[in-house]
Structure 1
Amino acid sequence: MAQDKAKASPDDQAIGQRSRRIREQRGLSLEVAAGLAGLSKGYLSKLENGLKGFTRRGLIEDIAEALGCSVADLTGEPYPARDRRTAEALAVLPAMTVALYETPEHDRSGRVAALPLERLLSAVAQANALCEESRYALAGRELPALLGGLHAQAAIGSSEQRQGALRGLTEGYVVAFGVARHLGRPELAMQAATRARETAQQLDDPALAGFATLMTASGFSRLGARRAADNVLSGGFAEIQPTADPSGPDKRAAEALGVMHLVSAQLAARSGRADTAQAHLSEATDLAQRTGEQNTLQWHFGPANVASWSLAIAVETERGPGVAERIDADLPLVTSAGRRSRLHFDLARGYAQAEGQRDDLAIRHIDTADRIAPVRVRNDPIARDLVSMVDRRARRRVWELESLKRRLGVS
């Protein structure tokens, strides 16, 4: 058993094992694949054999690009349900998929045309709040009907009602984006982002268009298409900067601009451009100090969320342990379950980069993240890989780790 443990037995669920299988199918040598990914031959070998872990999303994207495959080919997403809550969440995807690919010209008005616009808007806002709390089954269950009703209101209502319905539709697509992304369906999340952007462009509202642009960039990022995400954000900056006033009565455009800087910082960090990442993070920090805590469409822009993002960005630039220790000493007051879970998950990623020296803290924080938002964590490929890596490094059995392995389906 000890010998098997030392060899880090192959696991078909592991990202490294999938990487090796795809590389061999492509006929690429270890040296060539490593060069294309910007890695050393030895480092890629350790990743493939489970001796190194994937704590960075940018690393997965780099290897996927080098191998000519998708990120999902490496991660194996989407994952089958291993618990009741995940099964219930996955059950909302088929109807949601149909709703996202239908067009406004499809006749869906008969089902929900009788619902007043105010009730539709309230229900969509509630669904968005549920999604932010990582309650994806409840968030997505009525979403297809709500989208249909809002399309009907946009078609048959007055000019004022049409504007309200389009705003509601944009928020509905925000909900669909969040549900799909966190359930391992990045291509469906991209469709939701596309529909949000198309809808927001029909409104004279730069802030709402900015948030829709953010979704599109985030969708491209989740697919591993960093250059496309950068291009979308470049256009978004040009459009929203003239209207972004962090000191004015309407701070929504400034919020959107701030989150654009955070997403740009993350993209730069994943691409190894640490100076650019820091520049965007500094811009976001300055804006957050001036806007204070805001929460348009559940994006949660403000000093607390900027501090949380700074940790995720540090992990992508291999500075995880030091920044995790600083953040852990004074946790930002992020309020929603989704944000709290993400913060603890990023703390686990940061501590896991300490090459086994802080694995006790990594275990503690990923356990906390899973208890706060289990469906979100159990459908994250890095969570599975992190638990596997910590397990391989463990010198003794720890019940928290054994529990995590069972919950995440790690062999």
Structure 2
Amino acid sequence: MDEGSAASSEDQAIGGRVRRVRTRRGLSLDQAAGLAGIGKSYLSKLENGQRRFIRRGLVEDLAQALSCSVADLTGQPYPPPDRDSAEALAALPDIRLALYDTTLDDVPDLPARPVDQLAALATQANTATDETLYTLAGRGLGALLTELHVHAATGDEPTRQAALAALVEACLAAAGMARHLGHLDLAVHAARRGYDAARLSGDPALVAFAAMQRASALSRIGVRRRAGAIRTDALAAVETHADPSASDTRPVEAVGTLYLGDAQLAAREGRGADAEAYLGHAAELAERTGERNFLSFHFGPANVQAWGLAAAVELGNGPVAAERLEGADDVFHALGSATRRGRVHLDLARAYGQAEGGRDGEALRHLDAADRTAPTRVRNDPIARELVLDLDSRARRRVWELDSLKHRLGVA
């Protein structure tokens, strides 16, 4: 499906990478287009910068077709567009070292702070990541990961269980931070370590949430089949523990969150009916749980609506879904974190951008709101960068807000 006629310099960069990878793979335009499920002429226009990349699923389709990661096509990670991004990026080497220098049964001979203190720090880091305060989240996170590994490998059983649960949360923070800063390989590694720690803990809900994070990290590098299998296995394991009437709603939240992940995958693959079914299952559970926030996953009615908007954009139905969400109750207040609110603003901008110029004012307003709400995340997002350039290509006159966004996102 064509997604507009105006091209941008960012498109040309992505398109050029597509062409280079395709030729290195020895694939013709016909072969690559067939693998990606798009037309030959459309792929040619993408490679030549005559069409734009606006759906995440489109980039993932091409990455999967070319057997490469999404980052190979987007060029991530980007040079830091601002000081906050630069300071956050400075924390990643310590996180990487901690994860590669330890395993769950092989740790350095180092002293570790009390596990309760470390658990509190892990929660603080995950909360900071949820608020897109990546500099705060990354401060000392490498040392925190190492010390939690020490307790998990050498502590008595109560200490070990507490350390494993805290390690899952610390890995969620590390994976989320790395993914949103464009270091997708580190995000995959951190998410896998958190998943392994959750499995050792034996907590079904913890395993399910860690599986969701692992699947999300894999999806960002185009590994859809494995991501789907991980969610399917996790769903089968946690469903037997999910009782909406129980006081512990974590298993139900986990089931609903996994359904949202399945809806996202279905939408990116163009399976609209499946996406609607998964969203319906999640909505039914959300009505039972109300707004919850275990491990900052924010499962509840508001987040189901937010994921529904994202799915609609991937299916090409953005404008109608955007109007529906904006007409609902205060979704932004219910979401309760900068990351979630920023994501909804960005998806609203993408949705209105699908109107092919008819609603660019609304798209610009929401893109600006997304950047002001979650600047470090938005400025390192290839889709946001693409969208601002696309809006600029359609602008009939110079607009200060658009110029400002181009400078803030580092694409001026």
Question: What is the TM-score normalised by the length of structure 2?
Answer: 0.93
- Indicate which of 286, 298, 305 corresponds to 2:303: 305
The within-5 A match list for 1:130-149 is 130-149=128-147
1:184 aligned onto 2:195 = no
In the other structure, the counterpart of 2:209 is 211
In the other structure, the counterpart of 2:401 is 400
Alpha-carbon distance in 1 for matches of 2:7, 2:259: 40
Alpha-carbon distance in 2 for matches of 1:81, 1:191: 22
- Indicate which of 224, 227, 230 corresponds to 2:225: 227
1:390 to partner: Cα distance: 1.2
Q: Is the 8 A contact 2:8 2:386 kept in 1?
A: no
Alpha-carbon distance in 2 for matches of 1:170, 1:342: 23
Amino acid at match of 2:80: A
Amino acid at match of 2:139: R
Alpha-carbon distance in 1 for matches of 2:370, 2:125: 22
Alpha-carbon distance in 2 for matches of 1:49, 1:320: 26
Q: Is the 8 A contact 2:8 2:52 kept in 1?
A: no
Alpha-carbon distance in 1 for matches of 2:357, 2:30: 27
- Indicate which of 155, 158, 164 corresponds to 1:157: 155
In the other structure, the counterpart of 1:368 is 369
The within-5 A match list for 1:164-179 is 164-179=162-177
In the other structure, the counterpart of 2:269 is 271
1:211 to partner: Cα distance: 0.9
1:290 to partner: Cα distance: 0.3
Distance 1:156 1:106, change over 3 A: closer
Secondary structure in structure 2 of the residue aligned to 1:14: helix
- Indicate which of 289, 306, 309 corresponds to 1:291: 289
Secondary structure in structure 2 of the residue aligned to 1:243: coil
Alpha-carbon distance in 2 for matches of 1:206, 1:9: 46
Give a deviation string over 1:44-94, Cα, whole Å, max 9, x none. Answer: 334334343222111111112233332111100111112100000100110
The within-5 A match list for 1:353-364 is 353-364=354-365
Alpha-carbon distance in 1 for matches of 2:381, 2:9: 20
Alpha-carbon distance in 2 for matches of 1:8, 1:131: 33
Q: Is the 8 A contact 1:186 1:222 kept in 2?
A: yes
Secondary structure in structure 1 of the residue aligned to 2:240: helix
Distance 1:105 1:52, change over 3 A: same
Secondary structure in structure 1 of the residue aligned to 2:200: coil
Give a deviation string over 1:242-278, Cα, whole Å, max 9, x none. Answer: 0011221000010011000000000011111111111
1:122 aligned onto 2:123 = no
Structure 2 unpaired stretches of 5+:
none
Root-mean-square deviation (CA, aligned residues, Å) is 1.9
Alpha-carbon distance in 2 for matches of 1:325, 1:181: 29
In the other structure, the counterpart of 2:200 is 202
1:188 to partner: Cα distance: 1.0
Amino acid at match of 1:321: P
Alpha-carbon distance in 2 for matches of 1:296, 1:36: 39
In the other structure, the counterpart of 1:41 is 40
Identical columns (%): 55
Alpha-carbon distance in 2 for matches of 1:187, 1:382: 19
Q: Is the 8 A contact 1:13 1:76 kept in 2?
A: no
In the other structure, the counterpart of 1:103 is 103
Structure 1 unpaired stretches of 5+:
1-5
- Indicate which of 238, 242, 253 corresponds to 1:244: 242
Question: What is the TM-score normalised by the length of structure 1?
Answer: 0.93
Q: Is the 8 A contact 2:104 2:152 kept in 1?
A: no
Distance 1:9 1:21, change over 3 A: farther
1:189 to partner: Cα distance: 1.0
Q: Which stretch shows the higher mean deviation, 238-247 or 13-22?
A: 13-22
In the other structure, the counterpart of 1:337 is 338
